[in-house]
């Protein structure tokens, strides 16, 4: 049993019940973590009330809209958590985005705008969040966890611009780890196997990718969001106190396949 009871965590990136971040938040809540959650504002009241209903059982103490490109919303989140908790133990970055047309076909056709968008939302947002929450993460020592995918280092059909964004994200983890270690803040990535989520649905032929990963994984199946959640909880806890700058595969052993 990990000792996370009473720790404070901000979990970003829940879109629906299939979201990896939802699996993470459920596991965190089960460990007794006090949660703050963010959702991407859509301006659609029905979507937002569906989100509120989904997260109700998590008993989050803070729920706020956050678009990572909106610095005012970021400051509001920091102010709310600062005044409520005065510190933050865990920051989970589970955010990615790219244009649909950049997740199929020829990588060389990626537009500059599409490239910038994917890198800004999926990679730079980690830097922005860490910078914003650094002071709160320093109070008791903190752990930051982000989500990556093996397409960062291995060519995956149609993953294209997200492959280069995840490569940058993993490099960001290493550079941030080196800088933040002196403040007792660790930062790691979990490289999850493919999971059928909203974001994944944007990748052309994703079901083939899912099938291929289960066939060629050691465990002969795909990973579940709760299994990713357990790994994130480990990295969030002091049980992983000697680990930083690391990319941990949680993919049923797919990464070992030659």
Positions annotated as catalytic residues are: 149, 159
Asked whether position 198 contacts ligand NAD by CB under 6 A, the answer is yes
Contact stretch for ligand NAD (CB under 6 A) within 27-35, 50-58, 142-150, 171-179:
142-150
**How many angstroms separate the CA atoms of 253 and 243, rounded?**
20
Asked whether position 27 contacts ligand NAD by CB under 6 A, the answer is no
Helix (H, G, I), strand (E, B) or coil at 235: helix
**How many angstroms separate the CA atoms of 27 and 228, rounded?**
9
Give which of 15, 19, 14 is closest to 226, Cα–Cα.
19
Asked whether position 13 contacts ligand NAD by CB under 6 A, the answer is yes
Asked whether position 40 contacts ligand NAD by CB under 6 A, the answer is yes
Asked whether position 199 contacts ligand NAD by CB under 6 A, the answer is yes
Which two structure tokens, joined as six digits, stand for 173? Answer: 């983890």
Nearest-approach distance from CB 47 to ligand NAD, in angstroms:
10
Nearest-approach distance from CB 22 to ligand NAD, in angstroms:
7
Give which of 9, 40, 11, 34 is closest to 23, Cα–Cα.
11
Asked whether position 19 contacts ligand NAD by CB under 6 A, the answer is yes
CB 23 within 8 A of CB 225: yes
Residues 6+ away with beta carbon under 8 Å from 229: 20, 23, 24, 25, 26, 27, 28
Site for ligand NAD in 157-196 (CB under 6 A): 192, 194-195
Asked whether position 118 contacts ligand NAD by CB under 6 A, the answer is no
User: Which residues contact ligand NAD (rule: CB under 6 A)?
Assistant: 13-15, 19-21, 40, 66-69, 94-97, 121, 147-149, 192, 194-195, 197-200
């Amino acid at each position: 049993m990990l000792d996370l009871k009473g720790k404070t965590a901000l979990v970003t990136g829940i879109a629906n019940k299939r979201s990896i971040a939802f699996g993470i938040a459920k596991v965190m809540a089960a460990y007794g973590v006090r949660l703050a959650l963010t959702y991407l504002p859509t301006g659609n009241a029905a979507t937002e009330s569906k989100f509120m209903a989904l997260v109700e059982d998590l008993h989050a103490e803070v729920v706020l809209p956050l678009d990572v490109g909106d610095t005012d919303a970021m400051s509001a989140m920091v102010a709310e958590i600062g005044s409520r908790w005065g510190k933050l133990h865990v920051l989970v970055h589970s955010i990615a985005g790219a244009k649909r047309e950049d997740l199929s076909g020829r990588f060389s056709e990626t537009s500059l705008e599409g490239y910038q968008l994917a890198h800004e939302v999926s990679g730079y947002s980690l830097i922005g969040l860490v910078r914003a929450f650094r002071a709160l993460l320093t109070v008791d020592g903190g752990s930051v966890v982000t989500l990556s995918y093996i397409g960062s280092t291995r060519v995956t059909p149609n993953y294209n611009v997200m492959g280069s964004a995840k490569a940058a994200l993993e490099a960001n983890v290493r550079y941030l780890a080196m800088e933040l270690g002196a403040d007792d803040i660790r930062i790691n990535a979990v490289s999850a196997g493919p999971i059928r989520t909203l974001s994944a649905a944007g990748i052309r032929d994703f079901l083939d990718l899912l099938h291929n990963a289960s066939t060629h994984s050691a465990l002969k199946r795909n990973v579940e969001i709760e299994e990713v959640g357990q790994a994130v909880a480990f990295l969030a806890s002091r049980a992983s106190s000697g680990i930083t700058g690391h990319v941990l595969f949680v993919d049923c052993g797919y990464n070992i396949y030659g």
